[in-house]
Structure 1
Amino acid sequence: MSNGFESLVDSLQSDYRLISKFLSNPQEILNTYKLSEEERDIFLNRDLDALTSLTGSRMVAEGALSGAHSSTCSCIVPLDSGNEGTKF
């Protein structure tokens, strides 16, 4: 994972202006980061599995692709036992 990729993932978690611009014109935002062709394709195709693989975290990948977050944003992760989940 390149430094540009890490920086973009981090910014898509918290920079609301960047998130808005990315959702409107992802190509323009991607052009401002040093990314490999594979990394660019992951974002353009919104490939959650590939992004999860590169970041090592499904929650980080979902956060990077889901748009703006608030301070009360949370994620429910199902447990193996069935209907219950853990809130993060």
Structure 2
Amino acid sequence: MNQMQQNSLLLGLSIGLLAPLCAHILTTFTTLSVPFGSKQLGLYVIAALINLFVVRYFYRKGLEKAARGVILITFVLAMLLIFTTKLSLT
């Protein structure tokens, strides 16, 4: 693939969905403990940090549309998490 085919919003959306999907699977089907208090919140924070590094990589490679896709899916999933669950941060 050339760089023009790689630089698409759809590519960014699909790559940005991988880390949160893994976090959701780990939260749902395992008893893995995370040192951030709530297991659910900790795994999603790690997924968001992974996406942050992916965005940085895409911007450094000149793939702005793909980076925007990762940012968009991360923001949408964070809002979905906030509005569908009652997170206790205390």
TM-score of the pair, normalised by structure 1: 0.36
Q: Which has the higher contact order (CA 8 A, sep 6+)?
A: 2
TM-score of the pair, normalised by structure 2: 0.36
Higher normalized helix content (fraction of residues): 2
Higher normalized strand content (fraction of residues): 1
